[in-house]
Chains A and B, each alone.
Chain A
């Protein structure tokens, strides 16, 4: 029985935990029974699980991201509930540690990353007029590796115990001396596996954007979201290997007793913090740049003007991407690297405000004298500008190394980064989802419910996070599971809890909106319901498998607008056979074996590790020998499809 003891859930035996296990079991059984009853297994396997279509992979990324949003959101509400009143006993210290750790990891790695990569998957090939990404099979593998990592991470909650050393996972706290149970092993392997997937995405999209643009689309004629995707993926390719190595060292420390990050035998715990943030700070820009890209598209569409300052938008993103690698030390100004180092990193950090400010002014000037239509996506974008600016200004405050001694590790910091991530990334992703919804599914989301959700989310956000600035300046430390009444943090923390509830209501409304619109929204929305400007709107709604029957011919960054208003001939050629990649179950099987590999490694089940490793090698050999030349969609078939849509595009 000793063998099985390792899988048991550690310290606390909380009735909520058992309730969750039962709930997970019931939902899983319900899904299996439902699929069997409605005979949907074949559909699921053939149309989704084995797909290599960038649009479907994008949608799967977004669905996973939304699931993770609710997982991470539940963690968030639990934290705010625990700290809503002084000396609360809803969660104990250990449980609170696990909750804030998983909240951070899930939201950053499995929610935000998945959401932006999902958006890139869906939008970028359409925006550049391509049939798919450069390596469709690799793209599917990226998704399934991400998914395997996400599932592995979420499994920790019911098998063996969640990680509890914070999403930053600092050593020596994360070492075996202070984090004995397997939680941090889960952290290492879940991030490692999904990180490999992300790296592949990076390679894939750089190749796609460099090589597969429609004729006439020079680099400086790419729509802004594609530009942001290109820069983001460059950052991914150069930042993620650092995480790979750091996680490998952490794994070695925890599972093979090395001394990388220990405090004895030449180990240096600060090395983890450095490596983590050399990846971690570029990671922040990996998240925010695509969000900037989405805002650029939305603001220009709904201001009914072209984007102001296209070249400075591109230049500022390039500058941000370079600076992002030069600021990592600002995450630990207080750890004693000396005044010179702190000053340098303080200056580089503040310098980032300049290109970011340029972008803010560009958006404002795009709206200036525009005929603004306040649709839901536009409302998120308009709310983003002032809220993000507040987050940016507090960021500059934090960048001042000497003042940071006051803010470091307080709720002020928590308020700051939520203030940039939520209006920055989360608003952008919701806005982008609503904006691209008709392209994805062929109907629009209800605007009235959407606006209710918007107001709940914006007001909820302000109530939840602005009080933290005040309590933080008054000295409330982050990651503390409780506080005494005499600190006076009680009332503001209660406000924050109410804000968290409003946010939760907002997200539930978004889901309700999907259900409501699915039932009631009209299906004849046309190909261009928003009167948009860039190329992705030039094809049908929903998009056919091959995207464009005729490869579009582009002459500006607003090719579709030129087509509509200036008589530009977008589709010059004639319909020909189209070559498409074949579906394949290889990716999901490969990622499944990776999951087993990670799981066995977490628990030191070496026989399983070896078998899974051989499986991984086997999959690679199979792929090496596989001959898959894809298939052709014939001319007649395309013409028929296009006729159904009413004319070739």
Chain B
């Protein structure tokens, strides 16, 4: 937000504070969303296989490992971006954000590859209850990351255009919360869907 002279400064900070609190509450709702997906996944993982393949038959460690590394690294770089923002180094901040988005794009491309692999293995959305919830959980996470890519681009454009101000800083910080959240969800997916599934 531009610091218009007739705008009291507290007002702008108050809005910012509110946005951040609101976003934390939204993340609470997101946790419930993913919790529902995980719960359903755990119900279907053994009993919902039907005539389709089980997890251990279709999971491949290599792409999943690379995806994990990409996403974890991107969580680190978005942290660096926020740090750069705090010390008012706009160029570094934008640079780290671009790296973050590139890593996210790499993650998404690998996930697309993974989905094509599942398709060839005969594990489609329609195969069984298990494959349906597997692909829905991964897909929901993937859709969140994809949305994040576009969102990040919007924020980069706005920061380049208007510089770092109360508004863009607020947006960037909230974006970083979102990105870290997706990373945490991925850690759950990696541990409880892939690793547990391959054991």
Residues on A with beta carbons closer than 8 Å to the beta carbon of B167: 627
Out of B4, B29, B51, B154, name the residue touching A202 (CB < 8 Å): B29
Residues on B with beta carbons closer than 8 Å to the beta carbon of A629: 1-2, 4, 7
Which chain B residues numbered 111 to 152 have a C-beta less than 8 Å away from chain A? 125-130, 132-133, 136, 150-151
Residues on B with beta carbons closer than 8 Å to the beta carbon of A241: 29-30, 32-33, 36
Residues on A with beta carbons closer than 8 Å to the beta carbon of B136: 248-249, 252
Q: How far is the CB of A613 from chain B (nearest CB, A)?
A: 12
**CB-nearest residue of chain B relative to A265?**
B50
Which chain B residues numbered 7 to 64 have a C-beta less than 8 Å away from chain A? 7-8, 11, 14, 17-18, 21-22, 25-26, 28-30, 32-33, 36-37, 40, 43-44, 47-52
Residues on B with beta carbons closer than 8 Å to the beta carbon of A206: 25
Q: How far is the CB of B24 from chain A (nearest CB, A)?
A: 9
Q: How far is the CB of A33 from chain B (nearest CB, A)?
A: 42
Chain A interface category by residue count: 35 or more
Out of A202, A211, A245, A632, name the residue touching B6 (CB < 8 Å): A632
Q: How far is the CB of A474 from chain B (nearest CB, A)?
A: 38
Given A134-B18, A266-B128, A266-B130, A244 contacting B33 (CB threshold 8 A): yes
Contact A245 B132, beta carbon cutoff 8 Å: no
**CB-nearest residue of chain B relative to A261?**
B129
Interface of B is mostly: helix
Q: How far is the CB of A488 from chain B (nearest CB, A)?
A: 44
**CB-nearest residue of chain B relative to A621?**
B154
Q: Mark A240-281, 1 if CB is under 8 A from B, else 0.
A: 111011101100100011111010111110010001001000
Contact B26 A267, beta carbon cutoff 8 Å: no
Chain B interface category by residue count: 35 or more
Given A244-B33, A629-B4, A260 contacting B25 (CB threshold 8 A): no
Given A211-B17, A258-B132, A265 contacting B30 (CB threshold 8 A): no
A204, B25: Cα distance in complex, Å? 9
A8, B18: Cα distance in complex, Å? 48
Q: How far is the CB of A139 from chain B (nearest CB, A)?
A: 12
Residues on A with beta carbons closer than 8 Å to the beta carbon of B151: 624
Q: Is A38 engaged at the interface, CB distance under 8 Å to the other chain?
A: no
Contact B36 A271, beta carbon cutoff 8 Å: no
Contact B36 A203, beta carbon cutoff 8 Å: no
Contact B22 A271, beta carbon cutoff 8 Å: no
Q: Is B158 engaged at the interface, CB distance under 8 Å to the other chain?
A: yes
A133, B133: Cα distance in complex, Å? 38
Seen from chain B, the residues whose Cβ lies within 8 Å of a Cβ on chain A are: 1-2, 4, 6-8, 11, 14, 17-18, 21-22, 25-26, 28-30, 32-33, 36-37, 40, 43-44, 47-52, 125-130, 132-133, 136, 150-151, 154-155, 158, 167
Known pairs A249-B136, A267-B50, A268-B47; list 9 more (Cβ under 8 Å): A134-B22, A135-B22, A207-B18, A207-B21, A211-B17, A211-B18, A242-B36, A256-B126, A579-B7
